[in-house]
Amino acid sequence: MSEINEKKSIGNIAFSIFKYLMLIAGSLVAVIPVVVCVFTAFKTEAEYQSTSPLSLPKSFFYLENFKVAFKQANMARGFLNTAIVLVVVLVLSVLMGSMLAYVLNRFKFVGNGLIRNLFMFAALLPGIAMQVTIYQIMNALGLINHLYGYMICLMGTDIISIYIFLQFFENLPVSLDESAIIDGCTYFGVFFKILLPLLKPAIMTSVVLKGVGVYNEYYASSLYLQSKELKTISTALYTFTGPYGSQYNYICAGVLITIIPILVIFLIFQKQVYGGLAAGAVKG
Amino acid sequence: MGKEGKTFKEWFGSRKVQRYLVIFTFMFLPLLLLLMFTYIPFGKMIQFSFYNMKYIGKRTFVGWKNYVEVFNRPEIFKSLLVSVYYMLGGFVQLALALFFATMMVFKVKGESVFKAAMFFPYLISGIAIGFIFKFFYARGYVLDSIVAMFGVAPENIPMWLQDTKINNISLAATSVWRYTGQNMILFLGAMMSVDSDLYEAASLDGANKWHQFKYIILPSIKSIVVLNIILSISGSLSAFEPPYVITNGTMGTGTYFVMMNRIAHENQKVGLASAMAIVLLIIIIIFTVLQKLFFAYVFDNGTDDESKAAARKRKKQAKQ
């Protein structure tokens, strides 16, 4: 008996060692490409030329590369534009997504199923492929090279938050609405006063997921925001492909400037991010 | 009679009118946007695919010619072959994610640190990832230095992005790097929905880790794994950012979308690009239908309840 236990515990210890080795290896692979970038971003020109990319910089207080990158790519403007787009798109998508989900979930009417299916099918259409003809429509409506045009386009192609809200409504009891209506509430009142506050977890999830998507969006902004003062943070970063071709000390600094905000948000909202993923996954 | 007696205010305040009012106002904008940015473009895409046209200027109707061209242009066919690399990458990614998620199901100290480290690449923008890996693969920089550390002679280190034998593998690997952690989190979520007593009961019964994986973990995540296999197939067909940013689709790395982007926006062959989009859409629809059928036949339904039911059944068996 004791022999079996001993065998087991040796097996367990071996498994533990294996487990941690693997997890450490996996984490290293995930982190090394970014960490190397951090090292490089803090190196002076001479240091960058002469040292191995794997070596630590002399000082983590050398910020010149960040200054140059920030200025050169006009990132102040990029951050401002991205911030405006984020606020407007997030607020409006949360409102529109939750309102639509409320109507689809709470009311039976002709066309309810059809509308759900239209949104489902829309999720199947490959985004980048659709831009070929969306470009035409944006052009016809005069929405190209306007920040509001880009925002409308982002909201128009947003299906994820609708899914998240629809799912959340399924678990909100209808009795809530009914008792409010008996108390004399209108449907609008039910939605804004009773249900919207209860949607908070779903709102968090959709804001985090959609927020990451909007912050990282590149393709549409490269098509629809071509003038210099309309660059978003992604298109600003992309300008490094040109003049700084292979000066990776500047490029890495630029990359880090764009990553830091999202890293901070991720560390604060980890739970919501993981939870939101799981919620989205059920739908596929 | 009573109706005529109603004032406008009463009529307006009636439940029925209120109902239609709320349905209309709440749906108007989302539906308008859906129409403008999904269904009108979709309709136009079908229409354009039968024309020879640029964004501006004259269009001529050419029938099925664009579709014939999609299948006959060698570079388009080649770009579909490039997708195979991303598809294989997708399988590697699923296997790795499954492996790491399994490691984490057993008690791990510092779990949140490992999770965060592996998940974070998913949150980085495609453009930033492009730059990170341009630097990573560049001659004489990161990967070369790492490989050299293991004693490989410099002349034996391949050109990661230029050598056409391996450059697609290098690029697909960036996709694996980006999405493995995200898949892992998904799998872990499904695994955690299994009652933890089950693992204890199993290990008391003398089940080893492999048995625990095979009989408890795997059944609980079967549906989400299958779902992700199918997603990675359609995902690999729509791979775009790695080649677009890192190699700009040169040296045989152009995927279907990179080609389509070039044909649409550089060559302005809108008709041909639309036909390409429709062909891809049809492929994606086929995969989606297959997925639905698969779930319908294998699991009776497409929901996650399957895993819960399986867990319950196994728990019962474990108790007996």
DSSP A55-101: SPPS-TT--HHHHHHHHHTTHHHHHHHHHHHHHHHHHHHHHHHHHHH
Residue A1's pLDDT is 45
Burial tier of A184 (Cβ tally within 10 Å: 0-12, 13-18, 19+): exposed
Residues of chain B falling short of pLDDT 50: 1-3, 301-306, 308, 320
Question: Would you list the DSSP string of B142-154?
Answer: HHHHHHHHTT--G
Is the confidence metric ipTM above 0.90 for this complex? no
Lowest mean pLDDT across A56-65, A255-264, B44-53, B224-233: B224-233
| Reduced 3-state DSSP string for B180-241 | HHHHHHHHHHHHHCCCHHHHHHHHHCCCCHHHHHHHHHHHHHHHHHHHHHHHHHHHHHCCCH
- Range B72-319: architecture per CATH: Orthogonal Bundle (1.10)
Q: Considering only CB atoms, which chain A residues are within 8 Å of B268? A: none
Q: How many residues make up chain A in this entry? A: 284
| Chain-centroid distance, C-alpha A142 | 28
Beta strands in B14-68 (DSSP E): 51-52, 60-61
Residue B149's pLDDT is 85
Residue A152's pLDDT is 92
Residue B4's pLDDT is 52
Q: Considering only CB atoms, which chain A residues are within 8 Å of B22? A: 103, 107, 187-188, 191
At A2, the amino acid letter reads S
Whether A79 has its CB under 8 Å from any CB of chain B: the answer is no
Average pLDDT for chain A: 86
Tokens of A111: 């066309």
Residue B315's pLDDT is 54
Q: Do B280 and A223 touch (CB under 8 A)?
A: no
Q: Do A30 and B118 touch (CB under 8 A)?
A: yes
Q: Do A237 and B128 touch (CB under 8 A)?
A: yes
Q: Which DSSP state fits B301?
A: S
Q: Considering only CB atoms, which chain B residues are within 8 Å of A98? A: none
At A7, the amino acid letter reads K
- A37 contact partners, CB below 8 Å, separation of at least 6: A252, A255, A256, B132, B135
Give the mean model confidence (pLDDT) for residues A150-179: 84
**Fold of the domain spanning A74-283:** MetI-like fold (1.10.3720)
Residue B317's pLDDT is 56
Q: Do A262 and B124 touch (CB under 8 A)?
A: yes
Whether A257 has its CB under 8 Å from any CB of chain B: the answer is no
Residue B252's pLDDT is 83
- pLDDT tier for residue A280 given thresholds of 50, 70 and 90: low
For A22-55, what is each residue's pLDDT tens digit?
A: 999 999 999 999 999 999 989 888 888 888 888 8
Whether B126 has its CB under 8 Å from any CB of chain A: the answer is yes
Give the chain B residue nearest A258 (alpha carbons): B128
d(CA B242, CA B124): 13
Q: Considering only CB atoms, which chain A residues are within 8 Å of B120? A: 30-31, 34, 263, 266
* Count of CB atoms situated within 10 Å of the CB of A13: 10
- Highest mean pLDDT pick, A180-189, A241-250, B37-46, B240-249: B37-46
Residue B234's pLDDT is 76
Whether B156 has its CB under 8 Å from any CB of chain A: the answer is no
Which residue in B36, B114, B231 is closest to A27 by CB distance? Answer: B114
Residue B1's pLDDT is 42
Residue B124's pLDDT is 93
What is the nearest CA distance from A167 to chain B, expressed in angstroms? 13
Whether B48 has its CB under 8 Å from any CB of chain A: the answer is yes
Exposure of B205 in the CB half-sphere (CA atoms within 13 A) = 15
Whether B99 has its CB under 8 Å from any CB of chain A: the answer is yes
- pLDDT tier for residue A5 given thresholds of 50, 70 and 90: low
Residue A65 phi, psi dihedral angles, 5° rounding:
-60, -40
For B212-254, what is each residue's pLDDT tens digit?
A: 778 887 777 777 787 777 777 778 888 888 888 888 888 888 8
Residue B318's pLDDT is 52
- Could you state, in order of their start, the residue ranges of all structural domains in chain A? 2-50, 74-283
- Could you state, in order of their start, the residue ranges of all structural domains in chain B? 2-48, 72-319
- What b-and-e string marks burial along A67-91, b requiring 16 or more CB atoms within 10 Å of the CB? ebbbebbbbebbbebbeebbebbbe
A282 has pLDDT over 70: no
Residue B120's pLDDT is 93
